[in-house]
Amino acid sequence: MSIFSGIITAAHKQTFRDMINALLEDTALTVPCKLVFENTKLQDCPNCKYDSISRRSSNQYEPGGPIPFIDGQICPYCAGAGSLSFTQDETIYLGIIKPAFFGMAKLELESVNFVDGKIQSLCSIEHYAKIKNASYIIIDTNITDLTLNKYIRDRDPIPMGFGDNNYIVTTWKSVQ
C-alpha cells in the first residue's frame, strides 16, 4: 500500500474537475478558435451534370446552377472536374498555453510571446475527434482583423486528467 493512499480522495478529484471545467468555460480563460477541415468530402458540382462513368463533368449545364454555360463547353464552376471539395470550419473555445509555462516557477515577460512558434491547447476530451481531424486551427478569432494566428497540429492530442482522462492537451506549431 502506498504512503499516499487515502490522501487523494474522490472529493479532491471532483474539485480538480470543477476547477478545470471553470477555466474552460466559454467566458473564462478560453478564446474562440476556428478548426478548419479542408477537402472534407467531394460533392457533385452544382453547376453541371456528373458523369459517373468518366467520374468527371458531363459538360452539360445543370438547370438552376450558378454559372450558365453552353452544353459541350467545360463547366466554368468546377473546370470540368464534376465534383468539388469544400472547406468546412467550426469554432470552439480552447484554453491556449505556451508550452514553456509547464513546470515554470515564475512567469517571465519574454515568455508571453510565442517565441518558438509552438503553443498548446487545453479542452474537454469531447473535442478529440474534431481536433484530430482538423487541417489547421486559427487561434483567437476575436483578433483575426489584426493578425491571423494559424497553426497546424504538431502532435496528436494527449488525454490527461487527475485520475481520469476528461481533458486533452494538443501541441500546435505556427504555419506563418
Predicted local distance difference test score (pLDDT) of residue 159:
93
* 42 phi/psi in degrees, rounded to 5: -75, 135
Predicted local distance difference test score (pLDDT) of residue 113:
42
Does residue 3 lie within any of the structural domains? Answer: no
What CATH number should be reported for the domain holding residue 128?
2.30.110
Predicted local distance difference test score (pLDDT) of residue 4:
56
Residue 83: which residues within 8 A CB-CB, separation 6 or more? 42, 43, 44, 45, 50
Same domain, 161 and 101: yes
pTM here?
0.67
Distance CA 87, CA 8 (A): 46
Grid coordinates representing 119 are 503553443
Closest CA to 126 of 99, 156, 84, 92: 92
Q: How many CB atoms lie within 10 A of CB 121?
A: 25
DSSP string, 106-171: S--GGGGS-TTSEEEEEEEGGGHHHHHH-SEEEE-GGGTTT--EEEEESS--EEE-SSS--EEEEE
Range of the domain at 125: 10-39+87-174
Domain endpoint, select from 53, 85, 117: 85
Same domain, 99 and 167: yes
Same domain, 35 and 101: yes
Grid coordinates representing 158 are 494527449
Same domain, 56 and 139: no
Mean pLDDT by runs of 10 across the 176 residues of the chain is 67 86 85 88 90 92 94 93 89 82 41 63 94 94 84 92 89 88
Residues constituting the chain: 176
Does residue 1 lie within any of the structural domains? Answer: no
98: helix, coil or strand?
A: coil
Does residue 107 lie within any of the structural domains? Answer: yes
Distance of CA 129 to the CA centre of its chain: 9
Predicted local distance difference test score (pLDDT) of residue 104:
41
Same domain, 69 and 125: no
